[in-house]
Chains A and B, each alone.
Chain A
Amino acid sequence: MLSIFLNHQWKDFWRSRNKAGSIAAQILLGFFMLYFLAIAIVAGFGMAFFIGKAFPGQNVITVFNGFILYYSLFDLAVRTQMQELPTLSIVPYLHLNIPKKTIVNFLNIKSLFSFFNLLPLFIFIPFSVIKIGGTFGALTSLMYVLSIISLVIFNNYLVLYFKRKSINSFAYFIAIIGLVAALAALDYYQIISVRNASNFIFVTIAKYPFLALIFTLAAVLIFVINSKYLRENLYTEELSTKDEKKVSTDYAFLNRFGRVGELAALELKLILRHKRSRGSIFMGLAFLAYGFIFYKAPMIAKDEFGKMLFAAVFMTGISIISYGQFMFAWQSTHFDGLLVNKIDFKNFIKAKFLLFTISCTIITILASFYGFMSYKLLLLHLAAYLYNIGFATVIVLYFATLNYKRLDITKSASFNWQGVGATQWILGLPFILIPILIYVPFGIMNKPYYGLAAIALFGLITLLMRNFWINLLVKRFEKQRYKIAEGFRE
């Protein structure tokens, strides 16, 4: 029976509806997965080497031990947001003559086929076998592997259990991320050390290998709890997210913009009430950390803004690019309704500009904490901000009139390639190249501040030309709307 289920799932995967059009996207997704796997394998086999580099002078095994629980906690946090509940797929089987137990088993096994379960195995097992095995012997090595597999399984079913019990995975996510951050901070200020705790646990396991069975026991326990819960609540209604009472809301601050504000409020509701758009907001916030990767003290000292421009434009404009790339398709399910109703297309376009401007402003203000690194970054952000609200918005909305792909916004955003077409790929190019091209001549002449001023000026001028852009976009929209509407109906 189970093999039949798995066979059906396999077919479901390969025959899924939005598949045919997006083979390229699937291949790309495959590459990403392979990339992560490759990193994991390299990290796994090179663990001893990397630890030696990153923490010189410390005992490699101690560092490794300290890392395990951290990873596990972080993994838990990421899973709460990204791991999907395998539920809906069982609907066609529930009314058939199949014992509940079989269905529950199927759900449990299916959940194991997840990328999150594969990754840690590649990261941790090589080191456990090579180094730990080499130092403490085969039994300890085996128990290390067992603990890691147990931790993975524990996380897997714990997250599923949480998700089944509650609606709001986002709150859990914030809570767990908060917990991880708090623990990291406590660790940093040497108040409570997770690393020491983790190290202590695994040192103990090295001494008494069979203690690792405690992890296994915990994994089995959560598995049993989860299965029991599933068996008792095997109703799709109860397994999928529960309905809370929905209330009507009104965004008073948008009312001052009249008709345009009304349309913007409508879209704000769209963003907040769908999984995929909420996901993009979250990603936007996550990208605020981009600067920590790209902004380096020597670059700032030498005023090399060209190298940091990409990060600045991307970070402050993340709402424009991540939301704007699917523009109009967010409304694909009711696009006909928008066209038929008495909505002035000019207001429609203006509402988009309004939303972009507000969100971009908020993100830029949030990103101003980089000012603590250097005031120069604030200038950089200001230039990027002006470019984004001035011209990036126009690029995005222009490309939106070429986007005919219906978008399913009820599914989560992570690793979701539905609705991705050529426009999304091309869109990024002008978005990022224009500010760089403006800057480059000044960079070559070694006049970095003039370069920033030029970008800012360009942004300001295009911002002042907004009415011109609006008219242009409205004309374009009027011409393209039949095609867009037709594409969205499919």
Chain B
Amino acid sequence: MLTFKQLKKTYGGRTVVDINNLNIREGETIGLVGNNGAGKTTLFRMLLDLIRPDSGEVLSKDQNVSENDHWKDYTASYLDEGFLIDYLTPEEYFTFIGSLHNLSVAHVADYLKQYEEFFNGEILNRGKYIRDFSKGNQNKIGIAAALMQKPELLVLDEPFANLDPTTQIRLKSLIKSLKSTHRLTTLISSHDLNHVTDVCDRIILLEKGLVIKDFHTDENSLKELEAYFSE
């Protein structure tokens, strides 16, 4: 599904991302962990063609993401509030995102019904613009809008941050079920080792832009990660 080749990015002489060769197969759920400054978000941004790599390339379905837009057809993402059009009401935003994928207003409304539980009655018909919602609820809007696009590849940056416990649990089961029903490939970054080891089947540990560890999760993964980070 994804290949990162000799991918490098430096800012002011400091290497932020330096990945030699990394493959991600279809249907995998990848957890990206690492302390602040490890290069997680920069990696995501290069994957989404928001930052130009200094060298190397990101191939999505064997096509370089910076050379054409095909990857946008099957990729959905939510990194931060910068992805939301914050002066729209959530309904307007969902309709807009839906229209980009040729979903009618009725389709979108229909789709949103499944997420009533996820939204917990706090998102729709509140008579507010997105900018007036709390960070956690903005997160929910972004994630729901990403899922609505029926992606094959989903990229989420710290999706659990700012979410309330109920929603965290719901999100985890949502990702797990989409993986089994739609063979969804997911990339998640998180600081919460519990969640990552719970939901992901492969963990990639970054430090200063380098891949330090790359392994499939088993019952010892959490301990292993905790040991690594407490050193």
Given A482-B52, A486-B51, CB of A342 within 8 Å of CB of B72:
yes
Find chain B residues with CB under 8 A from A344 CB.
Answer: 69
Residues of chain B from 44 to 76 with CB closer than 8 A to chain A in the complex: 48-52, 69, 72-73
CB A279 to nearest CB in B, in angstroms, measures 15
Does the CB pair A339–B85 fall under 8 Å?
no
Residue among B48, B50, B52, B129 with the highest chain A CB neighbour number at 10 A: B50
Does the CB pair B51–A246 fall under 8 Å?
no
Find chain A residues with CB under 8 A from B85 CB.
Answer: 266, 334, 337
Digit string of A412-428 for contact with B (CB within 8 Å is 1, else 0)? Answer: 00000000000000000
A344 to B83, CA, bound (A): 17
Digit string of B127-157 for contact with A (CB within 8 Å is 1, else 0)? Answer: 1110010000000000000000000000000
Does the CB pair B48–A340 fall under 8 Å?
yes
Asked if B207 CB lies within 8 Å of chain A CBs, one says no
Number of chain B residues whose Cβ lies closer than 8 Å to a Cβ of chain A: 32
Asked if B79 CB lies within 8 Å of chain A CBs, one says yes
Residues of chain B from 83 to 114 with CB closer than 8 A to chain A in the complex: 83-89, 91-92, 95-97, 99-101
Asked if B185 CB lies within 8 Å of chain A CBs, one says no
Does the CB pair B83–A247 fall under 8 Å?
no
Does the CB pair A482–B50 fall under 8 Å?
yes
Asked if A17 CB lies within 8 Å of chain B CBs, one says no
Asked if B12 CB lies within 8 Å of chain A CBs, one says no
Does the CB pair A334–B128 fall under 8 Å?
no
A336 to B42, CA, bound (A): 13
CB A335 to nearest CB in B, in angstroms, measures 7
Contact of A341 among B81, B82, B100, B128 (CB under 8 A): B100
Does the CB pair A246–B128 fall under 8 Å?
yes
A248 to B92, CA, bound (A): 6
Contact of B87 among A243, A247, A269, A337 (CB under 8 A): A269
Does the CB pair A247–B100 fall under 8 Å?
no
Find chain B residues with CB under 8 A from A247 CB.
Answer: 89, 127
Nearest A residue to B99 via CB reads: A262
Nearest A residue to B66 via CB reads: A482
Residues of chain A from 339 to 381 with CB closer than 8 A to chain B in the complex: 339-344
Does the CB pair A482–B51 fall under 8 Å?
yes
Residues of chain A from 221 to 263 with CB closer than 8 A to chain B in the complex: 243, 245-249, 262
Given A339-B50, A341-B72, CB of A248 within 8 Å of CB of B87:
no
Given A246-B127, A262-B99, A340-B77, CB of A485 within 8 Å of CB of B50:
yes
Asked if A274 CB lies within 8 Å of chain B CBs, one says yes
Asked if A270 CB lies within 8 Å of chain B CBs, one says yes
Asked if A333 CB lies within 8 Å of chain B CBs, one says yes
Given A243-B128, A248-B92, A273-B87, CB of A489 within 8 Å of CB of B100:
no
CB A98 to nearest CB in B, in angstroms, measures 28
Given A266-B85, A270-B87, CB of A336 within 8 Å of CB of B100:
no
Find chain B residues with CB under 8 A from A243 CB.
Answer: 128, 132
Find chain A residues with CB under 8 A from B82 CB.
Answer: 333-337, 489
Nearest A residue to B51 via CB reads: A482
CB A405 to nearest CB in B, in angstroms, measures 16
Find chain A residues with CB under 8 A from B52 CB.
Answer: 482
Does the CB pair B97–A341 fall under 8 Å?
yes
Number of chain A residues whose Cβ lies closer than 8 Å to a Cβ of chain B: 27
A339 to B72, CA, bound (A): 10
CB A276 to nearest CB in B, in angstroms, measures 12
Residues of chain A from 476 to 490 with CB closer than 8 A to chain B in the complex: 482, 485-486, 489
Does the CB pair B100–A248 fall under 8 Å?
no
Find chain B residues with CB under 8 A from A336 CB.
Answer: 50, 79-80, 82-83
Find chain A residues with CB under 8 A from B89 CB.
Answer: 246-248
CB A349 to nearest CB in B, in angstroms, measures 15
Does the CB pair B51–A337 fall under 8 Å?
no
CB A214 to nearest CB in B, in angstroms, measures 44
CB A488 to nearest CB in B, in angstroms, measures 8
Find chain B residues with CB under 8 A from A266 CB.
Answer: 85, 88, 96
Digit string of A296-329 for contact with B (CB within 8 Å is 1, else 0)? Answer: 0000000000000000000000000000000000
CB A111 to nearest CB in B, in angstroms, measures 26
Nearest B residue to A334 via CB reads: B85
Find chain B residues with CB under 8 A from A245 CB.
Answer: 127
Does the CB pair B73–A342 fall under 8 Å?
yes
Nearest B residue to A482 via CB reads: B52
Find chain A residues with CB under 8 A from B97 CB.
Answer: 341
CB A202 to nearest CB in B, in angstroms, measures 48
A246 to B124, CA, bound (A): 12
Residues of chain B from 8 to 57 with CB closer than 8 A to chain A in the complex: 48-52
A340 to B153, CA, bound (A): 13
Nearest B residue to A335 via CB reads: B82
A247 to B83, CA, bound (A): 21
A273 to B130, CA, bound (A): 12
A334 to B92, CA, bound (A): 15
Given A247-B89, A342-B69, CB of A262 within 8 Å of CB of B96:
yes
A249 to B95, CA, bound (A): 11
Digit string of A21-45 for contact with B (CB within 8 Å is 1, else 0)? Answer: 0000000000000000000000000
Does the CB pair B91–A248 fall under 8 Å?
yes
Does the CB pair A337–B132 fall under 8 Å?
no
A340 to B72, CA, bound (A): 7
Contact of B88 among A262, A269, A485 (CB under 8 A): A269
Does the CB pair A333–B86 fall under 8 Å?
yes
Find chain B residues with CB under 8 A from A274 CB.
Answer: 87
Find chain B residues with CB under 8 A from A343 CB.
Answer: 100
CB B187 to nearest CB in A, in angstroms, measures 14
Given contacts A246-B128, A340-B83, 7 further A-B contacts (CB under 8 A): A334-B85, A337-B84, A340-B72, A340-B77, A342-B100, A343-B100, A485-B50
Q: B-side interface residues toward A, CB under 8 Å?
A: 48-52, 69, 72-73, 77, 79-89, 91-92, 95-97, 99-101, 127-129, 132
Q: What are 7 A-to-B residue pairs whose CB atoms are below 8 Å? A: A243-B128, A334-B83, A334-B85, A334-B86, A336-B50, A336-B82, A340-B83
